[in-house]
Structure 1
Amino acid sequence: MPDASRPDREICLLLLEDSEIDAELLAAHLNKAQLAFRLTRVVNRREFVAALEEGACEVILADYSLPDFDGLSALNIARALQPDIPFIFVSGVVGEEFATNALKRGATDYIMKRNLTRLATAVERALDQARERRERREAEQALSRSEMRARLAIEGAELGLWDFDPRSGEMSWDERCRVLLALGPDEEPTFDAWLARLHPDDRERLADSVADAITYHPDKTGAYAEEYRIVSPDGRERWIASRGQAQFEQGICTRFVGIVRDINEERLAQEALRRLTGDLERQVAERTAERDRIWRLGRDLFTVAGLDGRLRRVNPAWLNQLGYHPDALVGSDFSLLIHADDIEALGGVIKRLSEGEVIERHENRLRHANGTWRWISWTAVPEGEAFYAIGRDITEERAAAEALAQRNRELAEQIEERERVEQTLRQMQRLEAVGQLTSGVAHDFNNLLTVILGNISFVERWMSKESVDGKIADRIGHMRTAAERGAKLTAQMLAFSRKQKLEPKPLDLNETVGGMRDLLQSTLGGSVRLETVLKPDLWPALVDPTQIELIILNLAINARDAMEVGGGLTVETANVTLRDKPSRPEEPMPGEYVLLAVSDTGPGMSDEVLAKAFEPFFTTKEIGKGSGLGLAQVYGFAKQSGGGVRIETKLGEGATVKVFLPRAAARASSEPERKVAPRDVVSASTRNVLVMDDDSAVREITAAMLTDLGFTVIEAGSGSAALDVLRTDQRIDILLADYAMPGMNGVEAARAAVQMRPGLPVLFITGYADLKALRDVGEDRIIQKPFRDDELSRKVEAALADAAELAQKVVPLRRG
C-alpha cells in the first residue's frame, strides 16, 4: 500500500554516476519503494553543469569517485549554481570521516551503496527539508516585506511609535515620537515624562483614558484613541493624535503599543473651517435677509411664473413700476399685460424656457395701470415647471438709444460728407496742381510761339516783297498753321488752368445757341441729328460771349466724335437752382444757374473714364485724333466763370455734359455796341518804345516787329534795367512790359515806372494773365503771346493815342 505522505507527482532526480550497473541498481531500489521519479543520469563535469543550469532537478544523487571528476567538486558546483537543491552522496568506497566532512560542506545525506534500502527514505526526507526551508524562507521574506511596508507607511505618514509595559512601567519611543512629543534626546522615556508634556487642560483626561484602556473589561477591546496638546519647553503648543492597543493575558495588560501623529495643521484647518462655517452661516442668513429686502425693495420686476404663463409670485415693484398690487396679479395670465404685437414672441420665449433654455434678454411692452405702455427687458431662468424672471424698465433707455442712433446716423452722414469733401479737396488740389503746371507750360510755349510766329511774319512779308511763292510759300504756310494750332492748344491749356482773361457779360444763351445752329449742323455733318431744347424765360447768364461759343462748339465736336453714324445730339438750356453741396470738385456750389446741357447717344463713359474726364491731355480717342483738352477747357471756363460742370452718363446709353453758368443780375442787352470814333493815327517814326522782357528771343522779335512798324525801340532784359533807362533823360513814349519775369515782375516794374514818369502809357505782354495781378488792367492794355494779326501795332498805337488825348486835356497852371 503506498505511503500517503509521499508526493503524488513525479520527482526529477539528477544522478551523477559513471557506472551504468550502479545506476540501474539505484533506480531498482527507488521503484521498489514505489517512489514516482524521473531520473536524469550524467557521467562527467560538463553534463552535470549543463543539467544544473537547466534547473529542472529537485534532488541530486552523486557518486564520490568518477574518472575525471569527484563528488566534493560536484557538491561545490551544486552549492554555487543551485544551493537550494538537496545533495545526497551515494558511494561505496569512503568511510565515516568523509561522510562527516561532506555533511559539514553542505551535503544533505550520505548513503552507502551496500545499504541502498535507506535511499528512498533519504530522498523523501531531503525533499521535506527542502520544502520546509523554502517555506521558511518565503515566510521570512513575507515578514520582511511586511515590516518594510509598515516602516515605509509609518515614515510616509510621519508617525511615531511608542511601547509601554504597565507591569514594569517601562516605556520606549522612536525618534519621530520624541520629536512629536517635544522630548529631548537624553530624556528618559517614562509615562510621567509623557504626562508632563501634556497641556494642563488635557492631562487628567489623558491619564484617565490610558488607565481605562489598560484595564481589562470583557466588553471592551482595549483600543485607545485620543487627541491632545503637547507643550514644548519654549511654550509652543501642538496638537497630537494618538492611537493604541492594549494586549491582555489572563486579564492583565502585558503590553500597550501605539502611534502618535502630528495633527496640528489639521486642527488649525478644522478651526478655520469651523470659523468659516460660522461665517458662512452668518452670511447665508445675511444674504437671505438681503434677498428678502431686494425682493421687497428692489426697483426691478421680480416674478415666479409657471410654464403655462400664469403668475405665481410677484414683488412689490409691480405696484411701484406698473401700478398693479401683487395680490391682484398672482394667478393671472401674464399675456394679459403684454402688448398685442409682442404676444407671439412671448409664446416663443415660454417654449424655449420649457426646453430648459436660459433667456438672457427679451424685450416687450407691458401695459401700465394708467393705460400707457412701458418697455421691459427680461432675463428668465427655468426651474422645473416654473421660471424665474427679472424685468427692468428700459423705456427711457430705448428713447435715449433711439436718440443716440439718430445722432450716430447724423454723425455717419457727417463723416461721409467729410470724406466726400476731403476726396473733393484732394481732387481739386490735384487739378489745381495740374493747372499750375499747365499754365507754366503754356507760358513757355507762348514765348516760343511768339518767336516762331513773329519770324514767320517777317519771312512772309519778305517773300511778298520778293514775290516768292511755290513750295517755299507752302511750307511757310504749313509752319504758320502748325504754330497757330500750338497757340490754340496753349489757349485751351490756359482755359483749364483758369488763367485766361474773361470779359463776362449778361448773355441770353437761347440767342447764342440759336445763332450757332447752322455752325453746329455744318460741324456735325449730315449723319448726326441736331436738336435744340431752349427754355422760354431763360435767365441771363454772366459769361464771356466769345468763350461760351467756343465751349458749345467744343462739346458738340466731342459728342460727334463719340457717336457712330446716325447718332443724335441735343443742346438744351434751363434754369436750375442747386441746394446740395457738390460731390465732385468740378460740380458747382449751391445757387441759381443757367444750365447749358449737351447730350449725345454715344456709348457713354465708364467710372474709370469719368474719374479722369476733366484732366488735361486725357483722351479715349486714337492717337492724333484729339488733344485731351476739350473737357478740361470746359471745366476751366465753367469754374473761372463762377459755375461748374457735371457729367451724367451710363455705359451704352450716351452722356450728358451739363455746364452750370452763374445767373446774371441784369437782363442781357440787345442793343448794338456803340462804334468808337476812329482816332488819329500816331506817327510811329517820332515815338520811342521801351521793350522789357527777360526772354532775349521774345524781346528781339518784339523789337524787330516794332522797328518794322517804324518805332524806335530801346530794349531792357529786366525790370531794374528798364528803370535804369527811365532814370536817364531819354524820351520814352510807351513801355511794353512782360508780366512774368524773375525778380521784379512786369506789374511791379510798371508801377515804379509810372511813379518815375507819370502819364507813361504801359502795355503788358504775357503768355498768360494772372487775374489777381492784372484785374484792374483793361483788355486793351494786355497783349497775349503769341501776337495775333496786327494786335501789337493796334494796341500800341491805341495806347499812344489815349496818352496824347489825355495830355491835351491837361490845363497848365498859371504862375501867380
Structure 2
Amino acid sequence: MSPATFLRAAPHSAVAAQIAERDWTGTPLGPIDGWPTALRSTLALMLACPAPMYLAWGAALISFHNDAYTPVLGRRAPDALGKPFPELWADVWTDIAPMVDAALAGQATSVTDMKLDLSRDGEPEESYWSFSYSPVVGDDGDICGMLCVTGETTARVVAERERRAADERLEAALSAGDRVGAWDWDVVADRVVADHRFASLYGVDPDKAARGAPIAAFFSGMHPEDRPRVEAEIAAVLADGDTFLAEYRLMSETGAWRWVSAQGRAIRDAAGHCVRLPGVSIDITRRKTAELALSAAKDERDFVVELTATQRNLDSPEAVVRVSAEMLGRRLGVNRVGFYRLLGSDRMHHSVGWSDGVVPLLLGEQSVAAFGGYAERERAAGRSLVFSDSRFDAEGALGAYALDGVMAGICIPLLDSGRWAAGIYLHHASVRGWTAGEIALAKEVAGLTWLAVERAEAMVRLAQRVDRQAAALTEVTSELAVQDRSRRAAEAQLRQLQKMDALGKLTGGIAHDFNNMLAVIIGGLNLIERRLARGDTDIQKFLDGAIEGAERAAALTQRLLAFSRQQPLSPETLDVNQLISTLTDMLGRTLGETIRLETVLGAGLWTARADLSELENAIINLSVNARDAMPAGGRLTIETANAHIDDDLAREIETPSGQYVMVAVSDTGTGMSPEVLEKVFEPFFTTKPVGKGTGLGLSQVFGFVRQSGGHVRAYSEPGHGTTFKLYLPRATGDGIARAVPRPTVAVGRGAATEIVLVVEDEQRVRNYSVEALRELGYTVIHAASGPEALALLESAQDVTLLFTDVVMPDMTGRQLVDLALTLRPELKVLYTTGYTRNAIVHNGVLDPGTRFLAKPFTLEQLGAKVREALDDQSRAT
C-alpha cells in the first residue's frame, strides 16, 4: 500500500480528509509518507468500517478514529485526531487504563454495558458502552497499538431499567386491581364472568363476558405456540396449586399479537377441590416488546463480541473467513455466506465460505459480470446490494441470481485504498425481507472480517519473513562457527608463540646477567690461580670481586624465586606500623637530604600475615625506586590503612575477598606513561640506564605479595608521581612479631549542648557514628546525603560540628562543607573517609590542615578527634 493511497479506502470520510490535510511532521509519527504499513493498513480498514472504531498507536498512543466514532467524541472531536489517547479521555482514563494496558501487552479484552461519564456536551451524562480492545501488530512483529470496536448501549440499558420500573408499576396495578380486566372462573360450571376491560383485552363481546361463557371462548384468540403451555399451567393450579401466573399472546382486532399477563388465585372447597379461580389480566404488550427488543440488541452485541474474540484466535485468512461466514450464516439463518477477491478488473476468485447445503458453495474463478452488470456497477461504486426477490426485479437486473437459485441476498463490497478489492455475500434460496438490523449486522461483520483477514495475512507474511531470516541466520551461524574455530586455532597458535617469546626474553635476560657475574667470578679465580702459582699473594681484590659476583648471583636467584612465587617464606603476624617506624631512620639516610620522608600510619591498623624480611625488602625496594624517580628531590610518603576487597574487585584482580592491610608508597617524581605502567611488573623490564638495574625489583615485590595471598596495584601519570599499594592479608590470632603496645587514647567526652551533625551515606557506618557520639555525651542528628544535611542546616536546628564522609553520591563532603560554611561560617568541620587519606590530599580533594579521621576508627579515636575539633579556636576544615 503506497504511503498516501490508504486514505482512499474511505473516499467520503471526513476524518480521512482531516488526516490527509494535517501536517504530521512535528508529531511522534512523523510525515505521513513514512508511516508504517501496519498503521496505514489498519487506518484504511477502520475508516471504511461503519462501526464506531478508534486506534491508539505507538508509545505515545496517538489517537485516530473513523466517522462513526466522531459523535462519541462530542466536544472533543475538533482536537481529537493525533492527540495522545490518555489526554483525550483523561476523564475516564482510570476506568479504561487497565484494559488498554492489557491490549498493549497482547491480551484482547472486551466489556459490556460499562458506565462512563463522557461529558460529550461539556455536562455530566450517564452513558453505557460495550467495546472490545485488540492489540495491533506492527511491521516488525511487535505490538504497536490498540484497536477498539465500540457501540453505545445507553438506550438498551435505560430501557431495561424502565422495564423494571414498569414491572414495579404492574405489581402495584395488580395489587390495586386498577386499569386491568377482572375475571372470575367458576371451575365447576366452567363459566367465566369478566368486566368490559377484560372483554376488550381478549376480543370478545362485553355482554357475553358479563353474562359468562366457557373458558375456551376466551382462549380462541390465543397464539397456538402459547396455548399448550398456558393450559398446562392452568391444570397444575387446578390440581394442587395456589396461584396462577402466565404470560401469553392474543390476537387483537387489528390482527396484531398482543401480550397479556394473567394472575389468579385458586379457591378450594372443604375437600380441597378448586371450585373458583378469580383473577386479573393486564396488557403488557409495550413492556414485552421493549423487553424482546432489548434482548435482541444485547444478543446481537454479544454475537459481535464473540465473533471478534473468535477471529483473534485464528491465525490464517482462510480460517477467519470460514468461521466468520458460518457464524454469520447461522445467526441470520441464510443458506450461503461466501468471500471473494478480485483478480484484475474482470475476474474474481471465490475461496472458503459456508453453506447449509441448500445452496452450494461458490468456489474457484468467476467472471465479475456473472451476476449482471447492475450488480457489478453497484459493487464497483462501493455500494452494498440488497434484494428480497430476484425474480421480480423491476429492471430485470437480478435475473442471474434467480437462475443460480438465489432469491434474496446481501452483497457487501470490501475496499482497499478506496478501490473494490473483495466482497462478502449472503444468499438465501427463498424470498425473504431484510430488516435494517440484519443489514447493519451483515455490514458490521463484513468490516470486522475484512480487518481480521488483513491482520491474519500480515501475520502470515511476518511468519514467512521470520522463517527466511531464521534460515539465513542459521547459515550465517554455521559460517561464523567455522570462522570461530579457525580464529580459536589461530589464537592458540599465537598464544604459544607469545609464550615462547616471553620465555626467550626471560632466559635471555637471566643469561645476560649471570654471564656477567660468572665472568667476574671465573676471571678472578683464574687470576688468583696464576698468581698463587707464581707465589704472589696480592689476590684480595680478585677475591672481593668473585665474592661480590656470587652474592649478586644469589640475590638474582632470590628475585627470580620471588617473581615466580616459589621462594620459601616465613610468614609472621606483623605490626606494619611498627615495622615502618623502625625503617624510618635507615630510609632517611638512603633517600638523601633532597627528599623529604613522610609516614602516615593508620589508626587502629590490623596486623598483617607476611614474611618480615621480604616486606622490609619490598618497602626498601619501592623507596629506592621512588628516590631514583626524583633526581631533583621531592617527597616520599609511606602510609598504612585497613582495607576491604569486595567480591566484585576480588574477581577482577583474582584475589580472595576479605580484609587486608594496605601499605602505600607514593612519590612526587617523574611518573610513568600508561605504556610503561602496563609493563612495570614484567621481569627484566627497567627504565634505568644499562647497568643500573636488573629489572627484577618490582617483579620480586609482585611475586612476594601474590605468594603471600595479597595484591599489588600501581598508579602513575607523567609529571604527577607514582603510588604503589600493597594489600597484605589481615592476620588472625595473637603473637605479633616485634610488636610494641599501642598507647591508650584518652576518651574525649562531650556535653549535651554540643550538637554534632553526622553525614554518612552508608547506613551501618552512620548508625555506629551516631551511637558512639551519643555514648560520648553529645547530642547527635544525622543525614544520609549532602542535600539532606543542607536541609537541616538551612532550618533553625542548632549544629556545633559537621562530621561528614568525603566521598558520597550526588554531593561530595567537600562540596557539602563549602555550601555549609556559606550558611554557617562559625561551623566546625571534621572529615572522615575509607579512602587512603594522603591519596585524597595528593589528589587535591581536601586542603592542607583539614581535620580528618580515617576509617575505621575506635570510639576513643572518634572522641579524641571530635574533642580536638571542637576545642580548636580556629575554624579548621
TM-score w.r.t. length of structure 2: 0.30
Task: Work out which of the two has the higher radius of gyration on C-alpha atoms and give 1 or 2.
Answer: 1
TM-score w.r.t. length of structure 1: 0.32
